Structure 1
Amino acid sequence: MNKTVNINLANTLFHIDDEAYNKLRRYLESIKRSFSGTAGSDEIIADIEARVAELFLEKMENERQVITQKEVDVVINIMGQPEDYMVDEDIFEDEPKSSYTKSTSTTMVKKLYRDTDQKYIGGVCSGLEHYLGFDALWIRLIFLLLGVFTGFGFIAYILLWILVPEATTTSQKLDMTGKPINISNIERKVKEGFDDVADKVKSVDYDKMGDKVKSGSKTFFDTIGDIIMFLFKIFGKFIGILLIIIGASTLIGLFIGLFTVGIIDAVHLPGVDFYDIVNTSGAPVWVVSLLLFFAIGIPFFFLLYLGLKILVNNLKSIGNIAKFSLLGLWLVTIGVLIVLTVKQAAEFATVGSISVKEEWAMTDNDTIHIQMTSSDYDHTMDRVHFGRMMLAYDENDNAVLVSDDVRFDIKKSKDTMARLNIRKDSHGPTFEKARERAKMVDYGYSVDGNVITLDDYLTTVSENKARQQEIRTTILIPEGKVISFGEYVSGHVGRSTRNDRDYYRSDIVDYLWVMGSDGELKCQNCPIDSYGGSDDDGDGKIIINEDGIDIKINDRDEQGKIIINEDGIDIDVKDRNDSFKMKIDEDGVEIKTEDDN
């Protein structure tokens, strides 16, 4: 069982056992004696203690961990003993070089810091100069050009200013330049800038900061391994840059959209004015914009942060408090958006209907004419649709919703009375609310004798919202009545209207029809084609069955028949003056005319 003590090392509290404490105390006292009377000794000792504290923090898994003799030995091995280095090269100039037992050329990985000694604003560019090896002037020009033409340069500079730590201590400045942080280099660094702080970095000998080639040759496999690792690092840097570009550009776009569209409404985008019509959640557009900003922006912020972590080895962490706060905010935002989405979707859960019925006796005229009137509303927003709905303005400049979702079907009446059944449909969260919305739908029609006039549009007040309102009309026609169509009817005929020609519903408006006994419309002036005959006797049809193909042609002047089956082809054509018959089978071709008989 070992005794532990608490120590304050570079303003950081550590728990250390008694044996480790005694060894560390003797080590630091020997360093102090080595630098006793040396110019800048206090600053050297302070930087050495700060570096020791930093190494202890790297080894600790949590703040309650006790520093043991093992951690002290590791730190001493990294820092080196005072006797391993020349304290003052000018005084000990004649000492033999063999007194160096440790090389100061140990390769170190550079870390990114902000170099405030050569800063113009925040020291970001001068820090990148050490890290990347490019002149700070070119880096500043790149940031300036990106900032002026894209805005990305300003955002990136501010983020690096916030996230990249400043090189304040001597050990951090050595880390920034890639030098090993030990007693010798700390002493040199302090002495280089002791008299003139402004010349600290300028007086550094950059030739000594480069990597030295190790003696001896590498094996072939070592070289291959180095190449592979280099390619992996390049690929990782590329991924980091890509993540930064994606994250930063998305955040910039969201930020601009939040303030220009969502909050201050400086820019009117198509569809934003339509928001109040489709929205039933009660959330104003700026609230939804803010929620979307957090829901999308927070993941992309972490994407940007991940890219910076890949590129910057020692990037300062934003802290667990900030991370969990952003995560909590994101979860709350997603939860609120889900609630609003569910509430919005519930508005279309149920369909309610209101019906208007009318019947009248037919006049002696057997022809019923169906026509439609077109909307004359000012469709100033006809490019913004919600389904079939659009925003328009009436003669009093009041906003109304207009839809062309109007259909009618023609069916057979059960008696001699003509009937009109108009059904108004609308969606809602409950059946009652859906019916209330349906009641607010305005639809015009008129019956004048045998002329039925329907509007090809419906209207409703904008407060009724866009809830897939529609009109479904059924026209019941007595048997034997002829039906004709007028303008604007094409495109509004329903699917339940049947005809004997199998014409598409929008094509029937060009012909005259009569209501058949089976509820099917019979064409009166359609051309003879392969889809049907011109009367009710079955003439002019193509019959395909197990017996073969039977083609019948018949009108006032000629009749004919073509039979194709397993016996061959039999063609029989007759008119008033002569007849012709041709038969092709396995025996050959046989042709007969009236003269042959």
Structure 2
Amino acid sequence: MNKTVNINLANMLFHIDEKAYNKLQRYLDSIRRSFAGTAGSDEIIADIEARVAELFHEKMENERQVITSKEVDEVINIMGQPEDYMVDEDIFEDEPKAKTSDTTGRVKKLYRDIDHKYIGGVCAGLEHYLGFDALWIRIIFLLLGVFTGFGFIAYILLWILVPEAATTSQKLDMTGKPINISNIERKVKEGFDDVTEKVKNVDYDGMGNKVKSSSKTFFDTIGDIILFLFKVFGKFIGIILIITGAATLIGLFVGLLTVGTLDWVQFPWMDDFIVNSTNSPIWLVSLLTFFAVGIPFFFLLYLGLKILITNLKSIGNIAKFSLLGLWLISIIALIVMGVREAAAHAYTGSVTTKNELHISNPDTLNISLASSDLWDARGNVRMNDMIMVYDEDGEKILISNDVRFRIKKSNDSLIHIEVRKEANGSSIQDARGKATKIEYKYVVEGNTLVLNDFLTVHDGTRFSDQEVRINLFVPKNMVIDFEESRNCRWSTNNDKNIGRCDVDEYTWKMGNDGELKCQDCPEEIEQSWNDDDDENRIRINGQGIDININDNGNGESFKMKINEDGVKIKAKDNDEDKVDINIDSDDGKFEMKIEEDGVTTKKTIAKD
């Protein structure tokens, strides 16, 4: 069992066992004795202690780790013994000494060299980092600044973001020299004796590397410039990453945390539309989304900082793996919620009711559409065809205008109305259960049928693609008169091929063949389906697609129309052979008629 003590070395706290502490104490005392009476000895000792503390910190795996004699021996081996160095003034002569420290593989760090600065020391620091003269760097910054403006911006950013080399250790890091007793002593004495110019090109490499030459060939200089531009481009990429990451994190915090999690701004409808069927609270979804999106952008921000500042302190493996685990958990949770939400709409179920209608005048049926006053209420929230409002009692009501009407021929002399309610659910039973909760109303007043153009859900059922389809069966020869509303909800089979948006402008009569016959339509509104229509055209607009191609020379023609009512195709060749295809979009009815060599073949397929 070893006794441990706490020490404060260069303002850093360490736990060290007693044996290692005594060895370290003897080592530092010997260094103090070696530099006693030397100019700048206090600064030399302080820098040596700071370097020793830095080495200890690099070797520690956690804050509670105890430093042993092994770590002390490793640090002493790196720093060297005082007697290994000549501490008198002759170490600053021009000739390098036989005993030097190895600098091979030493990674330089970017600092601003304030000792040789003109403005902020950026170019002087880049000279050490990139390895070529600061004059070229200053010229490049100046040219980029004059012609593009980027040079001034880049210089200011580097001036702000790159730290200055203030301590002796930082100055040695800047030049790539090892931070040991010898180099710390040299650097301090350089400042005291003002002999920087005399020793700046001396390389104290233990392997006896050659003295650095200040002369370079033209092609070496061009290569250095290209390398420098690549590094500047890398720094620019780092700035872009920082801006992107920071902006995204701020936006996520404001958009998700403040609204969804902290509930600073309340939107009661969010639980009904955003997390519709999973019953997950909005704050949980917001938090998971923040982690799932924000963590990658945080690492993007961190990468940009690492590119821009090479000596940026690492956040540590514990933080990295913790964030990675949190991100994976968020992604998995969101995927599970998404699958549950998709499963909640996997099936479509419907319930159908059919009733007879009795009107005062059996010859004429007036049809009117009624709208909801709540549809335009203040504070409602819309999602596709559905809105959510609150009634006077504070009850939540879902209102949708996903209601469509179709007029068909009745098989008897009575008027029938068929109401089909549809909804989505996780199963057929669940979907039908939601469909039964849909409320739809209509009323007969005299010979007028008033139909709601909306549906409602009152019992708290959430958005499940609820819709209503109305089939109105009218006996033959009955006149139908609409209250004009310009409501594109009517699907009919009529003799004028008028689209659903224009049906309610005219009066109709049910024909024996189930086709509505227009009673007051002008001739010019007839659609271009007659064989004598020679207009060649292709029309694509909000009403659909209308194509008509005629060749008057040989009698060939092709016509196609696609709209909300379905698809109609007519074709004729020069032998008077014809093909007519009609596909109804509402009831799925498929009709095909072929006239070939005087023989007519007709086939009809219907879903209902």
TM-score for the superposition, normalised by structure 1: 0.64
Write the deviation string for residues 107-132 of structure 1: whole angstroms up to 9, x where unpaired.
Answer: 9833469x9xxxxxxxxxx9999978
Asked if structure 1 preserves the Cα contact closer than 8 Å seen for 2:110 and 2:126, the reply is no
Equivalent position to 1:330, from 327, 332, 357? 327
1:409 and 2:406 aligned: yes
Instruction: Count how many residue pairs are aligned between Structure 1 and Structure 2.
Output: 466
Alpha carbons of structure 1 residues 215 and 247: separation in structure 2 relative to 1, 3 Å? same
**Whole-Å separation in 2 of the counterparts to 1:226 and 1:180:** 24
Asked if structure 1 preserves the Cα contact closer than 8 Å seen for 2:437 and 2:459, the reply is no
3-state SS, counterpart of residue 502 of structure 2: helix
1:87 is aligned to 87
Aligned-residue offset at 1:384 = 2.9
Alpha carbons of structure 1 residues 306 and 474: separation in structure 2 relative to 1, 3 Å? same
Which amino acid in structure 1 is aligned with residue 436 of structure 2?
Answer: K
Asked if structure 2 preserves the Cα contact closer than 8 Å seen for 1:174 and 1:181, the reply is yes
Alpha carbons of structure 1 residues 512 and 55: separation in structure 2 relative to 1, 3 Å? closer
Which amino acid in structure 2 is aligned with residue 225 of structure 1?
Answer: G
Alpha carbons of structure 1 residues 273 and 45: separation in structure 2 relative to 1, 3 Å? closer
Write the deviation string for residues 388-423 of structure 1: whole angstroms up to 9, x where unpaired.
Answer: 001223354533111111111000111212111011
**Whole-Å separation in 2 of the counterparts to 1:439 and 1:407:** 18
**Whole-Å separation in 1 of the counterparts to 2:407 and 2:286:** 48
2:281 is aligned to 284
Aligned-residue offset at 1:222 = 1.4
**Whole-Å separation in 2 of the counterparts to 1:289 and 1:459:** 29
Write the deviation string for residues 18-47 of structure 1: whole angstroms up to 9, x where unpaired.
Answer: xxxxxxxxx999989865775558657656
Which amino acid in structure 2 is aligned with residue 87 of structure 1?
Answer: V
Within a 5 Å distance, the mapping from 1:28-427 to structure 2 comes to: 35=35, 39-40=41-42, 46=49, 87-89=87-89, 97-98=94-95, 100=97, 109-111=108-110, 171-172=169-170, 174-175=172-173, 181-188=179-186, 215=213, 217-268=215-266, 272-278=267-273, 279-360=276-357, 365-377=362-374, 379-380=376-377, 384-427=381-424
Write the deviation string for residues 70-92 of structure 1: whole angstroms up to 9, x where unpaired.
Answer: xx9xx98x979979975243xx5
**Whole-Å separation in 1 of the counterparts to 2:82 and 2:531:** 118
**Whole-Å separation in 1 of the counterparts to 2:262 and 2:460:** 24
Aligned-residue offset at 1:387 = 1.9
Asked if structure 2 preserves the Cα contact closer than 8 Å seen for 1:127 and 1:176, the reply is no
**Whole-Å separation in 2 of the counterparts to 1:98 and 1:206:** 14
Of the structure 1 ranges 481-490 and 295-304, higher mean CA displacement relative to structure 2 is found in 481-490
Asked if structure 1 preserves the Cα contact closer than 8 Å seen for 2:381 and 2:389, the reply is no
Within a 5 Å distance, the mapping from 1:504-523 to structure 2 comes to: 504-523=499-518
**Whole-Å separation in 1 of the counterparts to 2:123 and 2:465:** 61
3-state SS, counterpart of residue 381 of structure 2: strand
Of the structure 1 ranges 249-258 and 213-222, higher mean CA displacement relative to structure 2 is found in 213-222
Alpha carbons of structure 1 residues 525 and 183: separation in structure 2 relative to 1, 3 Å? same
Equivalent position to 2:441, from 441, 444, 447? 444
**Whole-Å separation in 1 of the counterparts to 2:244 and 2:412:** 71
Of the structure 1 ranges 32-41 and 245-254, higher mean CA displacement relative to structure 2 is found in 32-41
**Whole-Å separation in 2 of the counterparts to 1:111 and 1:12:** 32
3-state SS, counterpart of residue 267 of structure 1: coil
**Whole-Å separation in 1 of the counterparts to 2:87 and 2:444:** 112
Equivalent position to 2:523, from 528, 535, 543? 528
**Whole-Å separation in 2 of the counterparts to 1:301 and 1:204:** 47
TM-score for the superposition, normalised by structure 2: 0.63
3-state SS, counterpart of residue 373 of structure 2: coil
**Whole-Å separation in 2 of the counterparts to 1:52 and 1:287:** 44
Asked if structure 2 preserves the Cα contact closer than 8 Å seen for 1:386 and 1:466, the reply is no
Aligned-residue offset at 1:205 = 6.8
Which amino acid in structure 2 is aligned with residue 274 of structure 1?
Answer: W
Which amino acid in structure 2 is aligned with residue 254 of structure 1?
Answer: L
Asked if structure 2 preserves the Cα contact closer than 8 Å seen for 1:387 and 1:468, the reply is no
Asked if structure 2 preserves the Cα contact closer than 8 Å seen for 1:352 and 1:431, the reply is yes
Alpha carbons of structure 1 residues 102 and 310: separation in structure 2 relative to 1, 3 Å? farther
Structure 2 unaligned segments of length 5 or more: list them. Answer: 1-8, 17-26, 61-69, 115-119, 128-156, 202-210, 535-547, 558-573, 576-608
Aligned-residue offset at 1:177 = 8.0
Larger Rg: 1
Alpha carbons of structure 1 residues 303 and 130: separation in structure 2 relative to 1, 3 Å? farther
**Whole-Å separation in 2 of the counterparts to 1:84 and 1:225:** 40
Write the deviation string for residues 464-523 of structure 1: whole angstroms up to 9, x where unpaired.
Answer: 1121111100001111211111143622213xx211111111111111111122211111
2:132 is aligned to none
**Whole-Å separation in 1 of the counterparts to 2:528 and 2:292:** 64
Aligned-residue offset at 1:225 = 1.4
Aligned-residue offset at 1:276 = 2.1
**Whole-Å separation in 1 of the counterparts to 2:98 and 2:328:** 57
**Whole-Å separation in 1 of the counterparts to 2:107 and 2:250:** 36
**Whole-Å separation in 1 of the counterparts to 2:496 and 2:521:** 9
Alpha carbons of structure 1 residues 511 and 44: separation in structure 2 relative to 1, 3 Å? closer
**Whole-Å separation in 2 of the counterparts to 1:293 and 1:442:** 38
3-state SS, counterpart of residue 355 of structure 2: strand
Alpha carbons of structure 1 residues 539 and 295: separation in structure 2 relative to 1, 3 Å? closer
1:492 is aligned to 489
1:455 is aligned to 452
**Whole-Å separation in 2 of the counterparts to 1:440 and 1:259:** 35
**Whole-Å separation in 1 of the counterparts to 2:198 and 2:487:** 84
Alpha carbons of structure 1 residues 181 and 366: separation in structure 2 relative to 1, 3 Å? same
Alpha carbons of structure 1 residues 378 and 108: separation in structure 2 relative to 1, 3 Å? closer
Asked if structure 2 preserves the Cα contact closer than 8 Å seen for 1:532 and 1:541, the reply is no
3-state SS, counterpart of residue 411 of structure 1: strand
**Whole-Å separation in 2 of the counterparts to 1:327 and 1:239:** 24
Asked if structure 2 preserves the Cα contact closer than 8 Å seen for 1:530 and 1:541, the reply is no
1:479 is aligned to 476
Asked if structure 2 preserves the Cα contact closer than 8 Å seen for 1:51 and 1:181, the reply is no
Of the structure 1 ranges 48-57 and 334-343, higher mean CA displacement relative to structure 2 is found in 48-57
**Whole-Å separation in 2 of the counterparts to 1:166 and 1:320:** 28
2:134 is aligned to none
Aligned-residue offset at 1:267 = 2.7
Structure 1 unaligned segments of length 5 or more: list them. Answer: 1-9, 14-26, 58-66, 116-125, 134-155, 193-201, 551-564, 567-597
1:467 is aligned to 464
**Whole-Å separation in 2 of the counterparts to 1:518 and 1:53:** 97
Alpha carbons of structure 1 residues 426 and 127: separation in structure 2 relative to 1, 3 Å? farther
3-state SS, counterpart of residue 369 of structure 2: strand
Write the deviation string for residues 123-142 of structure 1: whole angstroms up to 9, x where unpaired.
Answer: xxx99999789xxxxxxxxx
